[in-house]
Structure 1
Amino acid sequence: MRLHEYQAKQVFADAGIPTPAAQLADTVDDAVAAAEEIGYPVAIKAQVHVGGRGKAGGIKLAENRDEAEEYAEDILGMDLKGYEVKRVLVEEAVDFVNELYVGVTMDRGEGEPVAMVSTKGGVNIEEVAEEDPQAIAREHIDPAFGMHPYQARKAVYDAGVDRELARDVSSILQTLYQIWDDKDGSDAEINPLMITSDDEVIAADAVLNTDDDALFRHPDLVEMEEEGEFEGSELEEKADEYGFDYVRLDGNVGIIGNGAGLVMTTLDLVDHFGGEPANFLDVGGGAKAQRIANALDMVFSDENVDSVVFNIFGGITRGDEVAKGINQALEQFDEIPKPVVVRLAGTNAAEGMEILNEDLVTVEETLEDAVQRSVAYAEEGSQ
């Protein structure tokens, strides 16, 4: 379960993490009234579950009433990476001099939670991890004992945070870990954690994702989930209609597979070969032709997708049925919207390879070759 920014900030504020004054609005008039009450300048921020809102025009800074009205009109109702914006957070603008990143997640390789701090806040932390991994200080935590104060201080000092700020930042990091632990979190982060000219430390953004299987322990989060179901993604509605396990991501390589493990392997390989996955889509076992056609319809509907890779291993699912579904879906188009790469293995894979219309798809024998080809197609499509 992923909370909206305004919900995560409420959880953080309740735990004692400083956050800017803010109000939620679903109309232009409400947004303007909120801005007038809070006082200018204010940030008007789309409340949707996507990254990169600012670059996509979903966050704007209003200096006066006219701008607040104009920006609220621009953002409310806009299509932001496939999501219709139905609410905005009107928030006190923070006059900052520096930005930090703090976060807590699970390091599956180490089998322990890890707290992270970086002085490169305000940018995509995944990019920082790839381009300058030394810029992120990490401290692993034994969940049996929780985060000790010295661990929080060590992470903060290792990241190079100024000593004048170290006490406040380490306190926020400890609180963030406690939230992550108490709420059965998968990820908790503040990016950016803003530093003002008065050396105040304020959470200008907030992320909190929790384990769906633990929600029975958190009725307060269940209420938030129900209250927050307003963003109306057409792709998610299609996924519900078709009965797919589907998660939208930020990349441009569409991924379709049968089985969660197989799809996750494909995601990892796309990343390994320099691509960015656009989605997780598991068609399940025993998928018939129409179900495969529905999966393609979903991925083609994502405007971010520049190529599609099929990774099917036949057990219950027969390769010839998958091939029929792919042909059936693609033959509906006068022109294929995006290049499709197919890898079939297992039950009736040879029969499926013979059935596939190679005028419509690219066929590769190995998963590695299929992923590399799809990444190359995506790079071409994004240029």
Structure 2
Amino acid sequence: MRIAQVPPLYEAVPPRFYGGTERVVAHLTDALVELGHDVTLFASAEAQTKAKLVKVRDQAIRLDPALLKSDLAAHMSMLWDVRRRAHEFDIIHFHTDILHFPFFEDMPGKTLTTLHGRLDLKDLPGVYWRWKQFPLVSISDDQRTPIPFANWAGTVHHGMAADLYKPHYEPGGYLAFLGRISPEKRPDRAIAIAKRLGVPLKIAAKVDAADARYFQEKIEPMIIGQKLVEFVGEIGDDAKSDFLGGAQALLFPIDWPEPFGLVMIEAMACGTPVIAYGCGSVPEVVEDGLTGFIVHDEDQAIKAVSRAMTLNRREVRRRFEERFSATAMARRYLDLYARQGATRPDMALVANG
């Protein structure tokens, strides 16, 4: 099958540090190639991929030192290039939210669009009513809640390359928080849990410009002069095995409708249980009592930390491999690609596995 993958251009593919969508696209693309498919990736020049790379920008937008740049112009140029070459592909898999809809109105059946973000935003329902011909993929069933009427083709949970993470079956003496410092991710909850337990907490997280004030006013006062809490900063994939694998558990104390939560499966890949507040996708990702615990308040989270030490970390890793490997994700997408092609005689229904 000839497949085009079209991610956003904000981060490298895969990202050097934080960046969920581009990371998932990187792992999906490589897994599809390994399954024998002809895959073309449209991305910035520093992408590392097993697919054919079409370099649509010299650098990922966030890595570009230029002070004046247009993310809209960059994406429009990429979509023009994809449109120009559309005849070369059996399926064009977009990860650019809604931006490509007007460009491909005459060929929606040749596309599949995975939505990676939250959908409870004011203007989104009108867009999905207007362009209802485009088949969509959710990354969790819960993500669909704000727009149940949309043209859903299926749900595919994220996956990661299994060999990227080395599991640790003997945890260290700390808790981990990984991801992004923001009000909805609730690092303040993680700090409060660690302080009540008297257990060290390591925070490896990105601070976006939009969240700098929150970090300075809310989080920094909670950790300055506090020996129990260590702020590590943003880390890349090469550091995650040790960071996550060495932890007793990952704290994921979110307070928003999380569409998926990639850090949960990264922790599982390292054999580390997840203690997560039951919002959004969490009940679909965490198997309570097997790969972690789903909690609803601070007291439950504190009890779950000691219970997490009793879980079989080898079983946590095994469930990751079964449910959330890149190969498992790729096979689920291949099923959707084939289903899309069932009504199109020009598309070969080739799907390995």
More strand by share: 1
Higher relative contact order (CA closer than 8 Å, sequence separation 6+)? 2
Q: Which has the larger radius of gyration?
A: 1
Structure 2 length normalisation: TM-score? 0.31
